[in-house]
Amino acid sequence: MAFPGPILLKRIPAEPGGRHLHRYDDYVATGGYESLKKALAMPPADIVKLVVDSGLRGRGGAGFPCGSKWTFLPKDIHPRYLAVNFDESEPGTFKDRYLIDYDPHILLEGIAIAAYANSITTSYIYIRGEYHREAQILEEALAEAYSHGIFGQKHAGTEFTHNCYVHRGAGAYICGEETGLLESLEGKRGWPRIKPPFPAIAGAFAKPTIINNVETLACVVPIVEHGAAWFKAMGTPSSSGPKLFGISGHVNAPGVYEEELGIKMSTLIEKYGGGVKGKFKAAIPGGISMGILATNQYDAELDFDIGKKYGVLGLGTAGVIVMNDQTSLPRILRNIVRFFSHESCGQCTPCREGTSWMHKILNRIVAGRGKPHDLDMLLELSQTMGAMPGTTICGLADGANWAVKTFLQKFPDDFKAVVKSPLVAGVSVPMAVTVSGAAAAPAGV
Ligand SMILES: Cc1cc2nc3c(=O)[nH]c(=O)nc-3n(C[C@H](O)[C@H](O)[C@H](O)COP(=O)(O)O)c2cc1C
Ligand code: SF4
């Protein structure tokens, strides 16, 4: 099926200054809360099956199948919770904010359906600390929804009781990691937890908890409305449905655009992003943790298989950052590593020390004081940090690993030019040949 046009963004005005439809009455007048009505007439297990059949994969970064996650909840343990991940701190990512700015009720409807389907009595929307305006928008939308019986006692006229709260974070990247989020939600320092137990078994307040991204839950609304087959007909066999793509960097029209999964990056940039400003050099496919796409990977298909095919970690948040040929990649990588070093929570030695040393090394490289072995040392550090699972508690360290190794392997000349090293990054020591994924990338990587 050809992409039929905006689904999640259908209430967002096409023209700047167009009328917002974010109030309850506008939402209902444009078909809102019809999916909830439909869901409430179905047995909860049928809704879970619908989501499984749709092939919906998590939109928060990892791409885990949403329906399977829902089936992991133990049958007999209550209460159980839903934690909505609206931390959105991955650099280059602003899709959830855009959706909530214009259409907060689509998230609330997705939450209400997910709660009913999974017998959840309390949901928390964990929102990034800096998102002041969106917190206010959500509070207002929630008050409207409560006043119309969507939440609270006898949920939407049924015997089901479900409450929903907005919980504001304090501004830390690591609170987007799902167990860091749970710790923060419980009022503690946002330190990721060692797993197992996984949140579905022991999550918030040690009770079974589902954690889903904002966009994932928004997708549940059209799935209930149109059915699993309709959703699966969009995208690719392993990556179904519509997707919000953020485009930023050297493009003429940065923004959030909706398309089906599997669209070529070049098409996305040219059709929606107004084309590259200057000559394309590289792009980060989905937030800085994913690594970098090389110049000859401009046509990469943006779906959940991108990692295997193009030697990056994955699609991540689909926040595409475009860079032209005037970009200094050593400087970009220095900024990326500075971010990870600052945001590392410090629990795991390879992450705490590794990101900090990478930052120091890259600082001296961009200052023109790089030493001959610096590039190889960066690769060695990155290999130590990427040895997941086992050496670190969460994925932050692996994100730093993928950034460093793909920048160095795909653009060695950019780094050799500033280090003026007689050694060749990744060749003078055998690190690069052991790096998974890169070998499978097309020629020229
Ligand atoms: C360091 C780190 C930061 C993360 N930040 C976010 C975030 O801001 N928002 C988000 O939805 N997921 C984030 N994730 C992914 C979550 O841990 C989790 O996979 C996701 O919320 C699950 O929801 P989904 O299955 O609907 O995608 C992050 C993961 C890591 C390792
Ligand atoms: S990998 Fe880094 S951010 Fe994650 S828990 Fe360990 S130290 Fe903290």
Residues touching ligand 1 (Cβ under 6 Å) are: 58-62, 64, 66, 85, 87-90, 174, 176-178, 211-213, 216, 394-396
Percent of the chain at pLDDT exceeding 90: 85
Cα separation, 148 vs 370, whole angstroms: 63
Mean pLDDT to the nearest integer, 246-260: 98
Asked whether residue 271 carries a pLDDT value surpassing 90, the answer given is: yes
Ligand 2 proximity of 396 Cβ (cutoff 6 Å): yes
183: CA distance to ligand 1 center in Å?
14
Asked whether residue 428 carries a pLDDT value surpassing 70, the answer given is: no
Tokens of 224: 């209930």
Q: Of the bound ligands, which one is closest to the alpha carbon of residue 397?
A: 2
pLDDT of residue 389: 62
Cα separation, 64 vs 438, whole angstroms: 22
72-103 pLDDT per residue, tens:
999 999 999 999 999 999 999 999 999 999 99
pLDDT of residue 171: 83
Ligand 2 proximity of 192 Cβ (cutoff 6 Å): yes
Q: How far is CA 113 from CA 42, 117, 205, in A?
A: 11, 6, 22
Mean pLDDT to the nearest integer, 147-168: 89
Asked whether residue 424 carries a pLDDT value surpassing 80, the answer given is: no
Q: For the whole model, what pTM was predicted?
A: 0.93
Q: Of the bound ligands, which one is closest to the alpha carbon of residue 200?
A: 1
Task: Give the pLDDT band (50/70/90) at residue 174.
Answer: very high
- Choosing from 392, 398, 401, 402 the residue with most ligand 2 atoms within 8 A of its CB, the one to mutate for a pocket test is 392
- Choosing from 341, 396, 401 the residue with most ligand 2 atoms within 8 A of its CB, the one to mutate for a pocket test is 396
pLDDT of residue 388: 59
Q: Which of 9-23, 224-238, 240-254, 396-410 has the lowest mean pLDDT?
A: 9-23
- Choosing from 213, 315, 388 the residue with most ligand 1 atoms within 8 A of its CB, the one to mutate for a pocket test is 213
Mean pLDDT to the nearest integer, 14-30: 83
Q: Which atom of ligand 2 is nearest to the CA of 177?
A: 4
pLDDT of residue 157: 72
290: CA distance to ligand 1 center in Å?
13
HEC states along the chain? CCCCCCCCCCCCCCCCCCCCCCCHHHHHHCCCCHHHHHHHCCCHHHHHHHHHHHCCECCCCCCCEHHHHHHCCCCCCCCCEEEEEECCCCCCCCHHHHHHHHCHHHHHHHHHHHHHHCCCCEEEEEECCCCHHHHHHHHHHHHHHHHCCCCECCHHHCCCCEEEEEEECCCCHHHHCHHHHHHHHCCCCCCCCCCCCCCCCCCHHHCCEEEEEHHHHHHHHHHHHHCHHHHHCCEECCEECEEEEEEEECECCCEEEEEECCCEHHHHHHHCCCCECCCEEEEECCCHHHCCECHHHCCCECCCCHHHHHCCCCCCCCEEEEEECCCCHHHHHHHHHHHHHHHCCCCCHHHHHHHHHHHHHHHHHHCCCCCCCHHHHHHHHHHHHCCCCCCCCCCHHHHHHHHHHHHHHHCHHHHHHHHCCCCCCCCCCCHHHHCCCHHHCCCCC
Asked whether residue 311 carries a pLDDT value surpassing 50, the answer given is: yes
pLDDT of residue 195: 93
Asked whether residue 237 carries a pLDDT value surpassing 90, the answer given is: yes
Distance of CA 213 to the CA centre of its chain: 8
Q: Which atom of ligand 2 is nearest to the CA of 355?
A: 2
Q: Which atom of ligand 2 is nearest to the CA of 352?
A: 7
213: CA distance to ligand 2 center in Å?
20
Mean pLDDT to the nearest integer, 330-358: 97
Q: Of the bound ligands, which one is closest to the alpha carbon of residue 354?
A: 2
Task: Give the pLDDT band (50/70/90) at residue 390.
Answer: confident
Asked whether residue 395 carries a pLDDT value surpassing 60, the answer given is: yes
Asked whether residue 436 carries a pLDDT value surpassing 50, the answer given is: no
pLDDT of residue 429: 34
Asked whether residue 443 carries a pLDDT value surpassing 60, the answer given is: no
Task: Give the pLDDT band (50/70/90) at residue 437.
Answer: very low
Asked whether residue 432 carries a pLDDT value surpassing 60, the answer given is: no
198: CA distance to ligand 1 center in Å?
14
Q: Which atom of ligand 1 is nearest to the CA of 174?
A: 1
Domains of the chain: 24-233 (3.40.50.11540), 236-324 (3.10.20.600), 329-440 (1.20.1440.230)
178: CA distance to ligand 1 center in Å?
6
Task: Give the pLDDT band (50/70/90) at residue 444.
Answer: very low
Closest protein CA for atom 4 of ligand 2:
394
Q: Which atom of ligand 2 is nearest to the CA of 192?
A: 5
180-190 pLDDT per residue, tens:
999 999 999 99
Q: Which of 94-103, 158-167, 420-429 has the lowest mean pLDDT?
A: 420-429
Ligand 2 proximity of 342 Cβ (cutoff 6 Å): no
